[in-house]
């Protein structure tokens, strides 16, 4: 119970940490295609940036989810495997001999702190790595003209464009039109609807 209470007390700080990671991830990703995403982001975009980042790809979502689950149970795992010195060192727990001399509740507190540090370190690595890889991949596809143009944007003036959508937020769409290498930014209000013309989940 004390372990859960400690985690709950850190939730506000943890969310601020995730918001920062979400902003940095988006900034790194969009910077590689020449966009300062902060200029086009509202307060709402910033606040939901962690959720937007985590749900941007199934693999990324599953990885982060499994990491949270693992770190939640990590204090108990460390407590039950205090003889596994190599594992303890891997997650950042040192001085195993001294720690084993403490009372169980003190060891749980220590392992909880280690778990939080381990989680933070891996989240930084995952968010920054994904932001860099995502931006680099999109930039390379734009330069190599290998994008898959799966969407059609229908504008309020009845014009349409076949596009590759890089991303969006509460105010703008970021995309590349078929046959071009220019990144375009369009206000959501100027778009009537979006057609998913090539749906790999429905089309055989």
Q: How many CA atoms lie within 13 A of 69 on its CB side?
A: 6
Give the global pTM: 0.81
Q: Is 151 helix (H, G, I), strand (E, B) or coil?
A: strand
What are the tens digits of pLDDT across the range 177-203?
Answer: 999 999 999 999 999 999 998 877 776
What band does 110 get if pLDDT is binned at 50, 70 and 90?
confident
Q: What is the pLDDT of residues 11-64, one digit of tens each?
A: 788 889 999 999 999 999 999 999 999 999 999 998 898 888 888 889 999 999
Rounded CA-CA distance 132/175 in Å is 18
């Amino acid at each position: 119970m004390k372990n859960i209470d400690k985690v709950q007390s850190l939730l506000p700080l943890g969310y601020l940490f995730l918001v920062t990671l979400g902003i940095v991830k988006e900034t790194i990703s969009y910077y590689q295609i020449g966009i300062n995403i902060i200029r086009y982001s509202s307060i709402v975009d910033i606040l939901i940036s962690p959720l937007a980042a985590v749900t941007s790809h199934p693999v990324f979502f599953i990885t982060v989810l499994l990491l949270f689950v693992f770190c939640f149970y990590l204090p108990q795992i460390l407590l039950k495997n205090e003889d596994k010195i190599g594992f303890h060192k891997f997650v950042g727990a040192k001085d195993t001999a001294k720690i084993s001399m403490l009372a169980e509740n003190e060891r749980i507190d220590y392992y909880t702190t280690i778990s939080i540090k381990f989680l933070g370190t891996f989240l930084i690595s995952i968010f920054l790595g994904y932001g860099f890889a995502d931006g680099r991949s999109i930039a390379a596809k734009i330069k190599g003209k290998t994008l898959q143009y799966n969407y059609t944007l229908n504008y309020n003036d009845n014009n349409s464009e076949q596009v590759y959508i890089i991303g969006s937020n509460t105010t703008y769409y970021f995309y590349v039109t078929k046959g071009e290498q220019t990144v375009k930014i369009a206000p959501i209000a100027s778009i009537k609807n979006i057609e998913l013309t090539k749906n790999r989940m429905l089309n055989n």
